[in-house]
Amino acid sequence: PAPRATVAPARVGGDPARTAGIALGDVLPAPMDVRPDPGADFTLTADTAIGAAPAARDAAEQLAALLRPATGHPLPVVTDPTAGRVTLALADPGLGPEGYRLEITPARVRLTAATPAGLGHGVQTLRQLLPAAVEAPTPVPARWVLPGGTITDRPRYAYRGAMLDVARHFFGVPDVLRVVDHLARYKLNHLHLHLTDDQGWRIAVDAWPRLATVGGATQVGGGPGGWYSQADYRRIVGYAARRHVTVVPEIDLPGHVNAALTAYGRLAPDGVAPPPYTGTEVGFSHLDPARESTYAFVADVLGEVAALTPGPYLHIGGDEAFKVPADAYAGFVDRAQRIVADTGKTVLGWHQIAPAAHQPGRVLQYWGREATDPVVADAVRRGAKLVMSPADRTYLDMRYAPDDPFGHDWAGAIDVHRAYDWDPAGYLTDVPAEAVLGVAAPLWTEYVTSRDELERMLLPRLPAIAELGWSPRSGHDWAGFRRRLAGQAARWDTAGVGYHRSPEVPWP
C-alpha cells in the first residue's frame, strides 16, 4: 500500500529572512512526511565531522565528497558514530529497503536507514536542504544552514527509472555517468540502457566481436558511433551501483537488429549482410525466428550481458518487429525468455511481448497510449508486472510544446505539467494498481546528438517522473511541485547542468 503524506502546514515556501530560504519540505521528490521545527536549524562549519560506523562509511564519504568542494571544509569522516555532529547509521527505522529518517537539530544531524540505498537517498535530501551554492565546484562563502525538523521518507514504487538510447546516437562513458548523477539526485534507481538498434550495436560481445567493431561503427546521420568495451560497461555499472542505481541492459530482439545483421550477414533471414543504417525508420529488420542458429546467437549475447550485470533484469526489447508474423514472434519471445531465465535473470520487455508465455517475475514496460489494453491485462492476470512508460507522458524525446522545433511529436508535445499530472496506478484502467512496479521515462536519441541536447530533454521533466515514482499520491500537487522545481534552477546553474526553461515553471 502506498504510504500517506503528512506534510505539516508550517513553513511551506521559503522564508526570505533566512540565509538560504530553504524550508524542510523543499525537497524533490517530495518526502513522505515532513515535520519542520523552525527554531532548530543546524549550521555546518569548518570543524564539523561526519561520524559513521563502517557499514555507513561509503554513504558518509559520498556526502563529504558532495559538500567539500563548495564549503571548502575538511569534513573528515570518522568511524566513531557518536563523534561527528553529522552522523550516518544503519539502523532499521522500519521504512523498507530504500527509506530513511533525517533528524536536524541545532546540535546535530542524524541520518538513519536500514540499507546503504536508504542512506544514499537521505544524503540526496540533505544536499537539497543546503543552499544552492553547495553545487559549486570551488569554495564559496555561504552560511551552510540546514532547516530544523524531521523527514521520514520512503518510495511509493520499487522501480523508478529512465532509459537512455545509446544506439541511435552513441554517448560515451562520461555522459552516461553524468546521467547516473541526475538519476541519483532525484532518487531514481534504474538506468535502462538501450544498447542495440538498427543504427548501432554498443556493447562488446566476446563471442561475436564484429557486433561492436562493425555494428557499432556509425549512428543516425552517419557519424562515427562507438561502443562500450566490457570494461567500460563494468565501469558504468559500478558507478551506478555505488549511487544505488541498477543498470538494466536492453538487447532489442527480434527486430531493431540491422546493426547486428550488418556485422554478421549469416544472421539475416536472407543470409545477406545489409548496409549500415543511419536513418530513423523503424520495424524493417529482424532475426529469423525459424532458424536454430538464431537462438545460439541470442544465448551467447544474453549470457555475456548477464555476466556483466549484477542487477536482476535483462531487457529483451520486443518492440516493432513488424515483419515477423504473430505466431513466430510469440515463439521467439518464449524462447528468448527461457534463455534469460537460464542466465538467472528476470525478463523485462516492451509490452509487445505480452502474448508470450509467463515467466516468473516477468515485467512488461508499457509504452502505449491507451486507457485499456486487453492483451497486457491478460498477461498481468498470468502474473506479469508493469513498468509504466506511456509515450504521451514519459517520452523525453517528445518536444515540450507544439511550436518547439526540437524533438519528436508522434505522442504529442509533453510539457512539464503533462509529464507530472497523471498517475502510474491509474493510466491503464483494466489492470489492478498492485500490478504496477513503477514508472520510467525513456529518452530515445534519433534527434539527440549531444550532452547539451540530452540534458535539455531530461531536465526539468525527469524530476516530474521521479516524484510520480517516489512521492505518496496523496501529496500530488502541481502548484507545490513547480515551485520546488523552480528551486532546482539555481542548483543546475551552479553545477553547470543544462535544462529547458519551461514557461510553466516560476523560475527565479
Residues classed as catalytic:
320
Question: Is 56 in contact with 90 (CB distance < 8 Å)?
Answer: yes
Does residue 320 touch ligand TNX according to CB under 6 A? Answer: yes
Q: How far is the CB of 168 from ligand TNX (least distance, A)?
A: 7
Q: How far is the CB of 230 from ligand TNX (least distance, A)?
A: 25
CA-to-CA separations, 276 to 219, 264, 294, 390, in angstroms, rounded: 9, 12, 20, 30
User: Pattern 5-44, binding to ligand TNX, x per CB under 6 A?
Assistant: ----------------------------------------
Q: How far is the CB of 251 from ligand TNX (least distance, A)?
A: 13
Does residue 413 touch ligand TNX according to CB under 6 A? Answer: no
Closer Cβ to ligand TNX, 239 or 284, answer by number? 284
- Overall size of the chain counted in residues: 508
Which residue is listed with cell 508499457?
A: 366
Cell of 357: 508465455
Task: Name the burial class of residue 52, with classes exposed (0-12), middle (13-18) and buried (19+) by CB atoms within 10 angstroms of its CB.
Answer: buried
Q: How far is the CB of 204 from ligand TNX (least distance, A)?
A: 23
Does residue 461 touch ligand TNX according to CB under 6 A? Answer: no
What distance lies between CA 330 and its chain's CA centroid?
A: 29
Question: Is 79 in contact with 56 (CB distance < 8 Å)?
Answer: no
Question: Is 477 in contact with 116 (CB distance < 8 Å)?
Answer: no
Name 377's Cβ contacts closer than 8 Å, sequence gap at least 6.
428, 430, 431
Does residue 232 touch ligand TNX according to CB under 6 A? Answer: no
* DSSP run (H or E) holding 466: helix 461-470
Closer Cβ to ligand TNX, 170 or 367, answer by number? 367
DSSP string, 396-426: TTB-SSTT--SSB-TT----HHHHHSS-TTT
Q: How far is the CB of 391 from ligand TNX (least distance, A)?
A: 6
DSSP string, 235-270: HHHHHHHHTT-EEEEEEEESBS-HHHHHH-GGGSTT
Does residue 397 touch ligand TNX according to CB under 6 A? Answer: yes
Closer Cβ to ligand TNX, 41 or 319, answer by number? 319
Distance CA 284, CA 47 (A): 63
Closer Cβ to ligand TNX, 171 or 395, answer by number? 395
* Amino acid at position 213, single letter: T
Does residue 350 touch ligand TNX according to CB under 6 A? Answer: yes
Does residue 453 touch ligand TNX according to CB under 6 A? Answer: no
Does residue 170 touch ligand TNX according to CB under 6 A? Answer: no
Closer Cβ to ligand TNX, 26 or 446, answer by number? 446
Radius of gyration of the chain from Cα atoms?
23
CA nearest neighbour of 81 among 72, 92, 90, 70: 90
Cell of 241: 551501483
Q: How far is the CB of 350 from ligand TNX (least distance, A)?
A: 4
Does residue 282 touch ligand TNX according to CB under 6 A? Answer: yes
Closer Cβ to ligand TNX, 37 or 319, answer by number? 319
Cell of 34: 515532513
Closer Cβ to ligand TNX, 53 or 411, answer by number? 411
State which of positions 362-391 bind ligand TNX (CB under 6 A).
367
Q: How far is the CB of 359 from ligand TNX (least distance, A)?
A: 19
Closer Cβ to ligand TNX, 154 or 500, answer by number? 500
User: Which parts of 39-85 are beta strand (E)?
Assistant: 42-44, 50-52, 77-78
Cell of 31: 518526502
Does residue 319 touch ligand TNX according to CB under 6 A? Answer: yes
DSSP at 440:
E
Question: Is 221 in contact with 168 (CB distance < 8 Å)?
Answer: no
Count residues near ligand TNX (CB under 6 A).
10
Does residue 444 touch ligand TNX according to CB under 6 A? Answer: yes
Q: How far is the CB of 335 from ligand TNX (least distance, A)?
A: 20
Among residues 243, 315, 408, 500, which is the contact residue for ligand TNX, using CB under 6 A? 408
| Residues near ligand TNX, by CB under 6 A | 282, 319-320, 350, 367, 395, 397, 408, 444, 446
